[in-house]
Structure 1
Amino acid sequence: MRAKKLPLEFSEQVCMDFLALFIEALMPVLEILLVTAVGLVLGMERINLLGAISRQSLNSLVFFVFSPSLIVSDLADTITLDSLGTLWFMLVNVLITFLIGSALAWILVKITRAPQHLQSPIIGCCAAGNLGNLLLIILPAVCEEDDSPFADSSVCSTDAEAYAVLSMAIGAIYIWCYVYPIMRIYANKATNDTGTHGATTRDNISGENSYLHSEIGTEPLLPSEGCPSSEECMDQVEFHFTGSERKAKIFGFLIGIVSPIRKVLIGDDAPLRAIYNSASLLGEPTIPSMTLIIGANLLRGLQGAGVRPALIVGIIAIRYIIMPSLGIIIVKAANHFGIVGSDALYQFTLMLQYALPPAMNIGTISQLLETGESECSVIMLWTYAVATFSLTIWSTIFMWLVS
């Protein structure tokens, strides 16, 4: 039998709906692009408003003041015992993105026979997505659009920030507990094979290289004094980073989960609401500051060394074709078996975690391990340039699937 043709009106309506979703997805990506471009311009030598010293100061503010305030205020406002019961799958979902990305990266390395000094950043770029500031921009922006497919804009924006902050917290933990050790193993192997293992120390790091740029801002490296070896310095940096982040996250979870503390700090009638409101106010500069830093850091990619086109194409294919496709299958399967609830925004967030560009602190780790630093900047430049288009397309598809 011949298949029935769809009515012309139905086809036109589908196209119009998809176009509307495309415009909704395009707006937040354009916002990211514009602010990133401003950061890139400000980082140029002729302007130098975001040069090495300025970035160091802004990075310190973001890491020690803005970002912890944002994490505490958003987690405390939305994360409760009930919500933790429904959001636990995000912990698993982010881990899956890291596992799939690293496995695909290993295959890419074998197929392309990538040089050993590039294997560490390749695995890092494929495994770790930018689960922090990009979601902090995209999710609330989508909610605020007039034709948003999600819930009421105020409720949606509150949930969106909570999902983004939780994603950022989980991603930071996995990067330092999973990706960093893997990159360190490959970096040590490359160093040993070139016969320069132990020949360099961190005592000569200065200027911009003395700062550890992280996805949620940056963190200054610990002073080299008192570090007998490069490896011990890296251990101190890792401990300092994870310790500082852990305190902000634990404090935010405690405020949200412990009802007496929540009643004292959160709400119009809370006696200590000024503390919570102050934390919220300090958290507001986090997003623009981090995005400006990304733009300034990407400037190094324009001056970096060349990388084989096959490697760049392979990383782009992994991050923007294979992983988002697998993400749809995984999230839909989880929803089918009742693991993920019916919240469209939550499903959209889980899918979007598979389609993000590499985490900016992969470049930081490459710099810290002294392996493929300039090449990593080139990879970052190309992947973030392509992300402008891929994020828009995949965001449109994800919204269409969950709406």
Structure 2
Amino acid sequence: MGLLSLLEVAFIPNLQVLLMCLVGAFLATDYSNLLPAQARASLNKIVFAVFTPCLMFANLAQTVTFQDIVSWWFMPVNIALTFLFGWVLGWIVIKLLKPKPYLEGLVMAASSTGNLGYLLLIIIPAICDENGTPFGDHDTCSSLGLSYASFSMALSGFCQWTYTYHLVKTSSLRLKALEEPLISPSHASIGDLQARLLHEQNGPVSVSSSKAFQEIESQEDSLEKRESSTSSIWAKTLDFLRRIVQESMTPPSLGALVGFIFGAVWWLRNLVVGDNAPFRVVQDSVQLLGNGTIPCTTLIMGGNLTQGLRSSKVKPKTIVGVIAVRYFALPAIGVLVVKAADTLGCLAADPLYHFMLMVQYTTPPAMSISTMTQLFGVGQEECSVIMLWTYLVAALSLALWGAIFMWILS
């Protein structure tokens, strides 16, 4: 498989995303006015509460079995490592480039959270269609590739709607603290700010002075010091676990959890999956709803792009920093991680499985980040601009790294 064929395979899904973004941008213009800010916010809530959970459930229940979960045990570890290394590199970018405080969570999310679902569901089968790959015959490659990609999407989706969701939510709380400098943290807790945030209408936001933010930060620091001096380690541990459980209760995470259960338990799986399943209509309906996730998310991202190109506060060096993390540092780390795991005997002898693990370090930022920024009303325009440039670069980056990965595995 030549470099030009790889470039075409990698470019097609990115081109699809960009074309849908252009449609969303046109719908959001004053000329069309079919996707204004209020409509984008309402559509985004439907994506969050309905489409994304259905997508998670449908793919997991249909393609992943209990045996797959056991035999592919290293994939969750690998995905966790992509988030960990991305978080460390994103933290370095923040310390070096010092973006706006409310954008730190967005930069961290874009650096650590890759698109491990939609792109892989397109790229892996397309690579299997080409001749000369080291992944065996077409049918076996396509079947395994679809299962690998679905499992990867579900695992990454769970991480996105817990860890990444928490990052974006924290940024939104900091922004709300900037907008309400008169409210003292001693009288308004973070929980109060969060409750107001989730019940307020989403829309454009403005940032107050940095002095007010520094005052609030200092008050929060003093409050945290007083709390830490009186609370025990056990209480802090329970609070941490409680927050993890709360983050896991988002609709997408619940959809992934239920999908895992139906896929792993054979009699539940036979109820909804298969031509003879008595409740096959449930799976078909859920799958139809899930298919709306990617188009709606991309249209929303394109609509935000129209505003972001005019008023985005993200600096070019910040975009370059995210690109350097996702397309230079992380892929190189991924090669070392997968080769080390293979040397230690942690991986099955399947080149396609190894290829999938490496590609997980190479994808552009997940589009679900755009859903989260829209949901909390923070950094929507900046997120769309980052997505635009990272997906443009991804067409070339995925092809080059894909060729390197296959050369290593040949």
Match of 1:206 among 196, 201, 211: 201
Q: Distance in 2 between matches of 1:55 and 1:114?
A: 26
String of CA shifts for 1:162-188, please: whole Å, max 9, x gaps: 333333332233234334445666776
Match of 2:95 among 90, 94, 110: 110
Q: Distance in 2 between matches of 1:243 and 1:193?
A: 26
Q: Distance in 1 between matches of 2:25 and 2:292?
A: 18
How far residue 327 of structure 1 moved from its aligned partner, in angstroms, is 1.0
Match of 1:357 among 364, 381, 389: 364
1:276 maps to what in 2? 283
How far residue 365 of structure 1 moved from its aligned partner, in angstroms, is 4.9
- 2:19 is equivalent to residue 37 of structure 1: no
Alignment-mate amino acid for residue 336 of structure 2: I
The 1:36/1:393 distance shift into structure 2, 3 A limit, reads: farther
- 2:69 is equivalent to residue 84 of structure 1: yes
Alignment-mate amino acid for residue 202 of structure 1: L
Q: Distance in 2 between matches of 1:45 and 1:272?
A: 45
The 1:290/1:146 distance shift into structure 2, 3 A limit, reads: farther
String of CA shifts for 1:285-336, please: whole Å, max 9, x gaps: 4443443333333333312334333322222111111111111111222223
- 2:84 is equivalent to residue 99 of structure 1: yes
The 1:160/1:35 distance shift into structure 2, 3 A limit, reads: farther
2:2 maps to what in 1? 17
Answer yes or no: is the 8 Å Cα contact 1:263–1:270 preserved in 2.
yes
How far residue 278 of structure 1 moved from its aligned partner, in angstroms, is 3.9
2:224 maps to what in 1? none
Q: Tell which deviates more after alignment, 93-102 or 177-186.
A: 177-186
Q: TM-score, normalised by structure 1?
A: 0.74
The 1:323/1:68 distance shift into structure 2, 3 A limit, reads: same
- SS of equivalent to 1:268: coil
The 1:367/1:81 distance shift into structure 2, 3 A limit, reads: closer
How far residue 96 of structure 1 moved from its aligned partner, in angstroms, is 0.9
Q: Distance in 2 between matches of 1:289 and 1:189?
A: 28
User: Percent identity of the aligned residues?
Assistant: 40
String of CA shifts for 1:222-248, please: whole Å, max 9, x gaps: xxxxxxxxxxxxx99x94873422332
- 2:303 is equivalent to residue 296 of structure 1: yes
2:32 maps to what in 1? 47
Q: TM-score, normalised by structure 2?
A: 0.73
2:323 maps to what in 1? 316
Q: Tell which deviates more after alignment, 250-259 or 22-31.
A: 22-31
The 1:299/1:142 distance shift into structure 2, 3 A limit, reads: farther
Answer yes or no: is the 8 Å Cα contact 2:364–2:391 preserved in 1.
yes
1:347 maps to what in 2? 354
- SS of equivalent to 2:311: coil
String of CA shifts for 1:59-91, please: whole Å, max 9, x gaps: 455444443333223212221121111222221
Q: Any stretches of 5+ residues in structure 1 without a counterpart?
A: 1-15, 211-234
Q: Distance in 2 between matches of 1:397 and 1:263?
A: 41
Answer yes or no: is the 8 Å Cα contact 1:133–1:290 preserved in 2.
no
Q: Distance in 1 between matches of 2:77 and 2:34?
A: 40
The 1:326/1:282 distance shift into structure 2, 3 A limit, reads: same
1:6 maps to what in 2? none
The correspondence of residues 147-186 of structure 1 with structure 2, limited to 5 A, is 150-182=135-167
Q: Tell which deviates more after alignment, 176-185 or 25-34.
A: 176-185
How far residue 143 of structure 1 moved from its aligned partner, in angstroms, is 3.9
The 1:396/1:303 distance shift into structure 2, 3 A limit, reads: farther
TM-align CA RMSD: 3.8
Q: Distance in 1 between matches of 2:182 and 2:372?
A: 17
Q: Distance in 2 between matches of 1:188 and 1:203?
A: 10
Q: Distance in 2 between matches of 1:187 and 1:57?
A: 18
The 1:375/1:298 distance shift into structure 2, 3 A limit, reads: closer
Q: Distance in 1 between matches of 2:36 and 2:135?
A: 40
1:250 maps to what in 2? 257
2:216 maps to what in 1? none
1:122 maps to what in 2? 107
* Higher RCO (CA-CA < 8 Å; seq separation 6+): 2
Q: Any stretches of 5+ residues in structure 2 without a counterpart?
A: 185-192, 206-241
Answer yes or no: is the 8 Å Cα contact 1:25–1:142 preserved in 2.
no
Q: Distance in 2 between matches of 1:371 and 1:274?
A: 38
Answer yes or no: is the 8 Å Cα contact 1:41–1:47 preserved in 2.
yes
Alignment-mate amino acid for residue 61 of structure 2: A
The 1:273/1:185 distance shift into structure 2, 3 A limit, reads: closer
How far residue 204 of structure 1 moved from its aligned partner, in angstroms, is 8.7
Answer yes or no: is the 8 Å Cα contact 1:209–1:367 preserved in 2.
no
Q: Distance in 2 between matches of 1:371 and 1:66?
A: 22
Match of 2:389 among 360, 382, 390: 382
- SS of equivalent to 1:340: coil
String of CA shifts for 1:15-67, please: whole Å, max 9, x gaps: x7333333333333333333333333333332234333543454455444443
How far residue 147 of structure 1 moved from its aligned partner, in angstroms, is 6.8
Q: How many residues align?
A: 363
Q: Distance in 2 between matches of 1:190 and 1:295?
A: 23
Match of 2:60 among 75, 82, 99: 75
